[in-house]
Amino acid sequence: MRPFASLLAMAALCASAGVEAQQGARANPTCPENPNWSNYREMRFTVQERPGQRPVLLAEGAIDDNLIPRLRAAIEAFQGDEIWLRSPGGNARVGNEAGRIIRENNLQTRIPAGWACFSACNFLFMGGTARYVDNGGLFIVHMFTHTSDRQAIRQQVAQGEDNTIGLIGDIEQDSALLASEDNDFLIRMGISRRLLTEVMYQQSAVGDGDPRTRMRCLTQAEVNTYNVATVPWAGTTPSQNQPARRSGK
């Protein structure tokens, strides 16, 4: 009975696609319509000097498959102790590894006012030995998924029951592995596991090409409750922590 029930669930998921597409960003009113998470296709690292203060390492852009060597090189050359993050996410397992590297190097992480850290970026941020989410900074989560592409699901379903059952099996197996990895990572980084069960796992896993239908922006209270930030925001105005303006997005 389980394959048949799974097929019904898959059919219902496909049928709901048009409704979600119409809802758009309204499906998650916790987040702004256009979060400032950068559209760089590969994460870029630059050092920002600050008069009278230690420099910070800016990490901006997607978490691509080849991120790790660049991250290691950037950290090795960096003379400060804090990384500022804005990213739309990317490769989840690379993000997990990058977070561990940040922890191994005893670096602090920050999401400054006006910047957004989504999806796999969460793991880089959680690697910080001390973590800051400034007022106006966005820590954005979603439900992990084996595939976020509904069209790929439709194509598999259209090819027949055997293909659909195989796809469901792959999704179930990979999802179980990802859940285990996420849980282990949160424990190691000192994050409350309730962040997974009470927030992340409550979100829709897939959308029709618009990540805004799947994302959830944590409030400052939630950032503190789940120990996402180890240093709660203490009243600094957004303009005081706003990074210097950079060309491009």
pLDDT surpasses 90 at 236 = no
Q: What angle do CA 241, 43, 114 make, to 5 degrees?
A: 25
3-state helix, strand, coil in the chain (%, to 5): 45, 15, 35
- The phi, psi pair for 153, rounded to 5°, reads -65, -45
Q: Distance between CA atoms of 17 and 152, rounded to whole angstroms?
A: 13
Pairing of strands 131-133, 216-217: unpaired
* CB contact set of 88 (below 8 Å; sequence gap of 6+): 35, 37, 38, 39, 62, 116, 118, 119, 121, 211
Instruction: Write down the pLDDT at residue 62.
Output: 97
Residue with tokens 């960003």, as numbered in its chain: 25
pLDDT digit string, tens, across residues 93-129: 899 999 999 999 999 999 999 999 999 999 999 999 9
Residues 77-99, mean pLDDT to the nearest whole number? 95
Residue with tokens 């084996």, as numbered in its chain: 146
Closest CA to 65 of 12, 120, 18: 120
Residue 105: both structure tokens together: 């190097």
Q: Distance between CA atoms of 167 and 152, rounded to whole angstroms?
A: 10
Instruction: Write down the pLDDT at residue 63.
Output: 96
pLDDT interval class at 206 (50, 70, 90): low
Instruction: Write down the pLDDT at residue 212.
Output: 58
Residues 138-150, mean pLDDT to the nearest whole number? 67
- Pairwise pLDDT comparison (206 vs 2), residue with the higher score: 206
pLDDT interval class at 249 (50, 70, 90): low
pTM of the model: 0.72
Residues 62-84, mean pLDDT to the nearest whole number? 97
- Pairwise pLDDT comparison (161 vs 220), residue with the higher score: 220
Give CA 166 to chain center in angstroms. 28
Residue 244: Cβ-neighbour burial (10 angstroms; 0-12, 13-18, 19+):
exposed
pLDDT surpasses 50 at 5 = no
Residue 93: both structure tokens together: 């397992």
- Tell me the pLDDT of the chain averaged across its residues: 77
- The phi, psi pair for 140, rounded to 5°, reads -115, 125
Instruction: Write down the pLDDT at residue 1.
Output: 42
Instruction: Write down the pLDDT at residue 18.
Output: 32
Q: Name the residue type at position 145.
A: T
Give the relative orientation of helices 161-189 and 2-15 as an angle to the nearest 10 degrees: 80
Neighbours of 131 (CB within 10 A): 22
Provide the 3-class DSSP secondary structure of residue 190. coil
- Pairwise pLDDT comparison (157 vs 73), residue with the higher score: 73
